[in-house]
Every structure is written in C-alpha cells, then in structure tokens.
Amino acid sequence: MNQQILQEISTNTITAIISEKGTTNPADNIPALFKVGVGLDSGSTTKLHTEKQKSGERTVVDYCFNYAYQIAIGRDHVTIVRTKDDILNIVENIVESVKSYNVSHETNAVLIIWCANLSHEWSFLKRDISERFNITKVFAKSQRDILYIQLDKCVELRECIGLFGHSLDDIAKHWCSKDNQKLKGQFDYNKIRTYATPLDPETEIPYMMHDVTSLAEMHENVINYYTQENGVCCLPYTSSGFVRMKLKAAIRDDEYLTEEREDKNIERRKPIKTNIEYLKHKNYNLVTDAYQWHICRDYSYSGGLCGSNIDLVGKILHNVVCADLTSDYPAQFTHQQYPCGRLKRMRGNLKDVRRELEAQHKPYLAVLKIKSMHAKTQHAVFSKHKIINLETNLFDKHGKPKDLVIYNGKVYSGKNLIVCWNDVDIKAYSECYDMQFGVLTLWAFDGYKRAPEWLLKSMWSDYEKKSLLKIAKKSDTQEYADAKRDVNTYYGVTATRVTDSFDSLDECLNFIPTKEKTFKQIRFDFWLNPYLAFWCTSYARSILMHFISRYPDAIVQYDTDSLYYVKSKGDL
C-alpha cells in the first residue's frame, strides 16, 4: 500500500472511543477514532490427521500455515500479500502514519484493524509483532481467545466475531451493503498451498478480498451505529460488555440503591461513593473462602442441558415435534427466586442441617458424595465433566469414581462420585436418577428473593424492544439482533469470572494477568451476584428434567430450552 493510501487514514478522524470501563464524558481525555475501516485476514492450509479423523476421534491438526494475507483500508484499497514480512511492513506503515498524524495534530487518535480470527493471526505473527512493535495493551479471555492487542498506543488489533456477528457471513449480512456480502468460495480444501501457490483470479482472490472489505465497511457502520449523542462511541471487548454498560448505567441511576447507600454511609467513617462500590460491599459475603468459590464456580455452575434418548439413536422417527420454552432464561430471571444475604458454611450433622434448610426453603450449595446413582430411564442428564474427583486430586481420600457408564458425555450410572449441587439441582437430578448420597460440605444463604429490580427492568426493556420489533416484522434489523443478543446475555453476565481474563504477556508471549488477585480482592469484585446465573440455569434444566422423567419414551432429544418428542406417544 503506498503512502497516498495511508495518508487517507489521517484525514478522517471522528469521535471519541472508550471501553466499557471508561468514562462517558467527551470532555475527558479520550482518544479520537479514525473513521476509515481496516480489515485483516489470512488464507491458511490445514492438514488434518487422516487416520484419527476416520476413527471418529476429535479433530487433530498435523500442521497449519498461512499462505496469504489480505488487508483492506476502506473498501477501495485492498491488497493481498504472500508473506508475514509483507503484511507486517504494511501494518508498520499504518502505525507510523497514525503516529505522524498524532504528532502533527497534537492528539492521541487510534485506528482499529479488525480481524475475523485474531487468535489465529496472533499465533502466526506474535513473535514478529513483539519484535517490531511496542505492545502497549492486551486483553484475552484465554490463551486461545484473544480479543484485543494495542500497538504503540495508537493501533488496535481487535476481534469482531462474537462482538458484531457469529461469522463473517453474519457480519456482512447485518453490517454491509448488498454488493459487499461474503462470497461463496470454490476452494479445494485438500490442496496444500504455500506462499508460492498461484491464487485463482476468478474464485480465490475475489473471495479473499471480500472478506476484508466487509470488515472495513462493518467498521464504518458500527461507528455510526454506536456513537452516542454526546459524541462518544463505546465498543467493549465482548458482546456481553454491551449489557454490562447498561447495567452499570441502571445501577448508577437507581434511586433505591442510592438512598440505601447514603443511609449506610451515615454509619461509616469512609463513605462509599458509588452504587457499584456499594454493591461490591454488599456482595462481599456471597463467598466464604477460596476453596468454596473454586468448588462452586467450577463444579456447581453448569450451562444448558443437551442430550438424547439412548434407545432411539440411529432410528428413523416419524411425527416428531418440538416444544420450545420461549425466552427460557429471561423467564427464569423474572419469575424465580434467587439466593441473597450472607453465605455461611454449616456445621454439625449435615444431613439434618440440609433437611432443616429444605423445610425453611433456604438456598444452599452442597458437596455430595454419591455412593451410587443410576438413571431411572434411558436418559443420562448429568455431565461427567462436573464430577469433582474424576480428574482432580481435591478429594483423594475418597478415591476415584467407580463403575462409570457414560453416554455422550453424560453419566448413566456410577459409584463414588463427588459433586457440587445446589438445592434446585438435587431435586431435579433426583427425578432422573436413583441415588444414595451423603453430604461432605454444606453452605447456606440467608434466604431467597427476587432478582434486583434494576437488573430486571433493564432486561425487560430489551425484551420489550425485541418483541415490538418482531411484531413489526423487523427481525432482520440490527436493532432486533442487538436486543435479542442482550436479552440472552443478562444471565451470563452475572457469572462472568472476574479472574478469568488476561491483560499482559510474559516473556514467552503467553497471556497472563498483570497481577494475580488475592482472594480478598476477588471478593470485592462482585458487583453482580454470580449465583443469579447458577440458579437460573438450574431452574431451566429442572424443567427439562421434569418432563424427561415423566415422558422418557416420547422424548427424543433436548437442548437448553427445547424438547423434541414423538407426538403419538403418551399425553405429552
């Protein structure tokens, strides 16, 4: 790309950009953002392990390498290069152009380069990037889930899949014009390509160019769409960040929380200044110690229930229909009760303590030793990955599980299983399994209450918007896609693991936390009650398990909020 094209970058800055954690005051020192969109992608050759693929094992890659890189600055300037040195030379020119602009204009503007698979590009380029540039900021959810890399404080490599769509095709559909949709490639994926392999000008080159021009156009439309009236554009790292921003605004503006905080401040020597900080103080006692949080976070919290009828696998079925639980998680949030107050570790005869908690209808979490469990029907519904003593040494003195029968990742029967369930889980799994168990550890909350009003009102607002757009037959609009995304994100946001993000690099370029948090620091990070998500998914699973236990022969399969069943069987 020549200097004239790069100069085009410097003539097109707009508004302010901040992350979800920043300020929203445009008068503050917020960097300007370049209007021009830049898209980066690569062409890869992947050789799979043939024998293991044939045997039905998980995908194993023998080797993978990039044979081309394509980059677009706006829709009109696209180039394809064949080596990593060539693409990094272009990125270096972009960085230097932005730096030059910032010096001459006395500003700190940033330019975003959008990638459709930043983790992939990073795996090939990280060593060279670290040698050529000053990496000033990073953010990753895991070593393989990289969302943000800042170069020299002025150019940002960012992941767009998940933030603005679940695929390039989806992004083009929602954010690009009709003449800039993703092309259908006619690739021979068995062909091994290198940087010297000619690219077909009729099929491969147009396909590759469209992928990056769609990212460039996406940028321009995203900026226009998300820029607020005050000139600030908030682009979080993840799609759940949009909901976090809404909730923080709802918490800030909640009059009841403000009044409650101010009343509490009368008794405090050091006043709590914000409602967010007040919630962190309130939620401090939702965990008891590091052991409890680790066990409950990793083994009590589960997602949606997915599975199928063992007896019907491989059979041709007729008259199968689907029963869908409309907006299941938002419904559970709205209508169910959730743990509140202080979490305490219970002592004494835990069998009697659990019985008393059940009688008082108090929520609890329990580590159980299941002496034996066997599915009552042909449905296995408990995930083997939630067996604590299967792959850890936390309960060595109790030994490993015995006589496990696993079907599609679910426990059909077994002995000597250590698990962590809440009160809703125990009732639900008891409908589906014959079990004998003892209680090893028990934690109980003060009681149940509704989810916070500020959370419910925010969720309801998005749900109403989604519903009205659907009624108006606007389900293909970005407004509907955003409302649907947000409605289905509220429950997960509450369980975001505050320690499971990485914002620094070690000398081997592995992602690490800048500073390991102590357990006390982790406790003060809970401005949202994480058990809202724990119980929400438990309530949803319990509905499916109830019907599975009552109509095992009729039910074919299930997935989170739906049941497929044979209509002619039983009265389901």
Q: How far apart are CA 291 and CA 528, in angstroms?
A: 20
pLDDT at 143: 78
Residues 458-499 have pLDDT tens digits of 999 999 999 999 999 999 888 998 999 999 899 889 887 555
pLDDT band at 49 (very low <50, low <70, confident <90, very high): low
Cα 120 to chain centroid distance, Å, stands at 18
β-strand pairing of 38-48 with 32-34: unpaired
- Asked if the model's pLDDT at residue 292 lies above 70, the reply is yes
Quick one: pLDDT band at residue 50, thresholds 50, 70, 90?
low
**pLDDT for the residue numbered 48:** 67
Contact partners, residue 104, CB within 8 Å, separation at least 6:
none
Q: Residue 447 contacts by C-beta under 8 Å, 6 or more apart in sequence? A: 339, 340, 341, 362, 363
- Nearest 5°: phi and psi at 531? -75, -10
- Give the 3-state secondary structure of 267-331: CCCCCCCCHHHHHHHHHHHHCCCHHHHHHHHHHHCCCCCEEECHHHCCCCCCCEEEEECCCHHHH
Spatial distance between the Cα atoms of 426 and 55, rounded to a whole number of angstroms: 37
pLDDT of 519 strictly over 90: no
**What secondary structure does DSSP assign to 184-241, as a single string?**
-----TTS---TTSPPPTTTHHHHHHHHHHHHHHHHHHHHHHHB-TTSEEE--SSTHH
Which one, of 132, 20, 140, lies nearest residue 86 by Cα? 132
Q: What is the pLDDT of residue 18?
A: 45
How many other CB atoms are found less than 10 A from the CB of residue 289?
11
Q: 440 is written with which tokens? A: 């090893």
How many CB atoms are closer than 10 A to CB 67? 17
Which ranges constitute the DSSP H helices of 321-422?
A: 328-335, 350-359, 388-391
Highest mean pLDDT (candidates 182-186, 295-299, 375-379): 375-379
From the CB of residue 570, how many other CB atoms can be counted at a distance below 10 Å? 13
Mean pLDDT of 201-211: 88
DSSP secondary structure letter of residue 452: P
